Amino acid sequence: MSLLPSLDACKGKSGFDAAREVLGLLKRVERLRFRDAQEAIQLHETVLFLRAYPQSAQVLRLADRILSSFAERVRGLPREDFEYAEVSGIAGTSLATNFSYPFAKSLADRHGGRVRIDWEQYQHADRLGPILARLIPESFEDWAVAPHPDWRRWYEGAKGSLPWLMRGMAPEVYDLLELPLRWQLDDSAASRSRARIPRKHIFYHDGPFLGRKDVSMESEFATPKEELAKRVGYQTDQTAAIEEAKALMTAAGYPNGIKGLDYMVREIASFKLWSQAIQAMLMETLNIETKLRTVVDSVWFDDAKNGNFDLCIGAIVSALLDPSDYFNAWYGKDGPQNYSFWDNKDFQELVPQIDREVEAAKRLALIRKAEAIMEQDPPLLPVSWEKINDIWFSFMKGHNPYEYFGLYDVGRFDTVWLDKT
């Protein structure tokens, strides 16, 4: 792995060994001068992260030193590469746009000497005529006679500046000018490279930001057990649930049960064992006859994808412990793990709202609505949240199997690294 990707990979690492590794990489990049703008940007963003979440005091000081050198590092590199919104603000670069009046007024008051009109991008310079004719009396005659006076020449000849131009200018007049401004950051503390907020305590990344034990879907999203116990199907006494199931089968035209269903089982010991129990329960309780068909993984996924089954048992997994991940993957229309091809219009309309909502209480209410829809129109029948004990080699860092629920808990390992030579 090359130097910059290796440094970027360290953002998720923590502890003493990680601090030593990061320090060594930072010492190497400090001596380098990148002649490619994209590499310089990648270095800046990575070091900025390490400056905010340093593994040690030494990492903090060295990251600070590298960031303080960026005005010199970007000298001679293409200006336009640094002006995209997502990477702008690096020391030694500039930022050009049509700032709003409040922001432009603040810039004029605080950084007036570093802000100028971006004449190359100004398509409405004639609109400056009435303003400059008032500020520069000599230009009035030019404005009154010439069809298109050279306002840039008049402005620069009068040694114009943004504070001078905006002094006494009403917001509505400024908005009409559509004035493109270029803010030259230089090596100022206003840049993202040099900006610092005074703080009493420094955070050091000496452990994972969030451990598995700190996340609980049950406490965050699950309906309380006492409320679930009021619903048919969740009660210890299954009499009401069985009666409702029989009534639903009668309404569907199967009052005497169903014969010969194809029950596809994935070739996994636990699934085969559970399926024998489920087969017996369906037969004894609802007179539903199933024929178990155990298949290897490749056949199971092909048949599941093509709908070649009546019932099937398998596993669904998530990358994140959040409904925005598994609601889309498991139950979304054409979702990658929607093996029942379930498509509920009301549910599909709710999911994007859940994805966008940032207020916890409102989001939970939307999740409850989605859950209520699935109770009335089940996409699948959950068997269990399977607990699998993981065992890892000691050279696998950033991962504690003790705190991990198992393979189906989460499939994300971007905070894990191998410490092996």
Query: What are 37's two structure tokens?
Result: 């703008």
- pLDDT value for 173: 87
Count CB atoms within 10 A of the CB of residue 104. 21
How many CA atoms are closer than 13 Å to the CA of 362, on its beta-carbon side?
A: 8
What is the pLDDT at residue 202?
87
**Could you read off the pLDDT of 51-61 as tens digits, one per residue?**
999 999 999 99
Domain ranges of the chain: 94-184, 214-376
Q: How many CB atoms lie within 10 A of CB 115?
A: 21
pTM: 0.55
Positive or negative: CA dihedral 117, 119, 125, 129: positive
Domain 214-376 listed as CATH 3.40.50.300 = no
The Cα–Cα gap between 218 and 265 comes to 28
Res 96: pLDDT: 87
67-70 own/partner pairs: CB under 8 Å, 24+ apart: 67/91, 67/193, 67/194, 68/193, 68/194, 69/30, 70/40, 70/44, 70/191, 70/193
Position 305 scores a pLDDT of 92
pLDDT at position 223, please?
87
Mean pLDDT per block of 10 residues along the chain (421 residues) reads 86 88 93 89 94 93 94 90 87 89 90 89 85 80 72 84 85 89 90 87 80 67 87 90 95 95 95 96 96 96 94 86 90 93 96 94 95 94 78 77 60 72 63
pLDDT (0 to 100) of residue 218: 65
Give per-residue pLDDT as tens, 125-166.
888 888 887 888 877 777 666 677 888 888 888 888 888 888
